[in-house]
């Protein structure tokens, strides 16, 4: 694929990610993706012959990798598990507030809307969550409860993001941060 094709593909993924984070799977219609990306309709089907399901799946995977990279950067700073989780919550809270409360978790909305009806999208959402759980587990080290704790932390973060978005307030993130700190001690 040439540079122009790669740029078009990136624009389509960027537009899709923006639309699904703000409005979910159903808020990212193909006409909206084409309009937001500025790409010709034929490019959409050239780059994503599987249609909307493939486009959204790749966008969710890519968004998951971006958040995973941000998590890895925070973990690489040599912080404790408590400091790491606090940093992730702060970063996600800033991201959410700066987006006008539109950018919560790039996976959650698609998982809620489509996991029961689309095997490919369910698999992508599961893959992303599994990767985040593994990163948390690794950070927790040899604790006997690391598996359970990683899932608990992820569930608390996801719930806090949902509540923060619903209330348009970062207070749920602060409260969850305090509870996770207690769990990690």
Domains of the chain: 3-184 (1.10.357.10)
- The pLDDT, as a whole number, for residue 1 is 61
Contact 40, 11 (CB under 8 A): no
Provide mean pLDDT across the span 68-89.
Answer: 84
- The pLDDT, as a whole number, for residue 73 is 83
- The pLDDT, as a whole number, for residue 82 is 87
- Separation between Cα atoms, residue 42 and residue 151, nearest integer Å: 41
Contact 164, 93 (CB under 8 A): yes
The candidate with the shortest Cα–Cα distance to 154, out of 162, 165, 144, is 162
Split at pLDDT 50, 70, 90, the class of 22 is confident
- The pLDDT, as a whole number, for residue 57 is 96
- The pLDDT, as a whole number, for residue 71 is 84
Split at pLDDT 50, 70, 90, the class of 141 is confident
Kindly report the average pLDDT of the chain as a whole number: 92
- The pLDDT, as a whole number, for residue 81 is 86
Split at pLDDT 50, 70, 90, the class of 124 is very high
Please state the φ and ψ torsions of residue 115, each to the nearest 5 degrees: -60, -30
Split at pLDDT 50, 70, 90, the class of 14 is very high
**Which residue is associated with the tokens 């790409």?**
39
- Separation between Cα atoms, residue 30 and residue 183, nearest integer Å: 43
Provide mean pLDDT across the span 68-84.
Answer: 82
Total-model pTM: 0.90
């Amino acid at each position: 694929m040439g540079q122009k094709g790669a740029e078009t593909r990136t624009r389509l993924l960027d537009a899709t990610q923006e639309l699904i984070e703000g409005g979910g799977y159903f808020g990212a219609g193909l006409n909206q993706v084409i309009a937001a990306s500025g790409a010709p309709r034929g490019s959409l089907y050239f780059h994503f012959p599987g249609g909307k399901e493939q486009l959204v799946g790749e966008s969710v995977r890519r968004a998951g990798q971006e958040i995973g990279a941000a998590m890895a950067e925070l973990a690489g700073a040599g912080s404790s598990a408590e400091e790491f989780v606090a940093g992730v919550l702060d970063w996600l809270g800033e991201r959410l507030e700066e987006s006008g409360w539109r950018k919560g978790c790039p996976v959650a909305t698609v998982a809620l809307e489509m996991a029961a009806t689309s095997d490919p999208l369910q698999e992508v959402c599961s893959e992303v969550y599994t990767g985040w759980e593994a990163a948390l587990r690794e950070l927790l080290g040899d604790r006997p409860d690391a598996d359970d704790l990683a899932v608990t932390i992820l569930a608390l973060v996801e719930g806090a993001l949902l509540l923060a978005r619903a209330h348009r307030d970062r207070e749920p993130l602060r409260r969850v941060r305090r509870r996770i700190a207690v769990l990690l001690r």
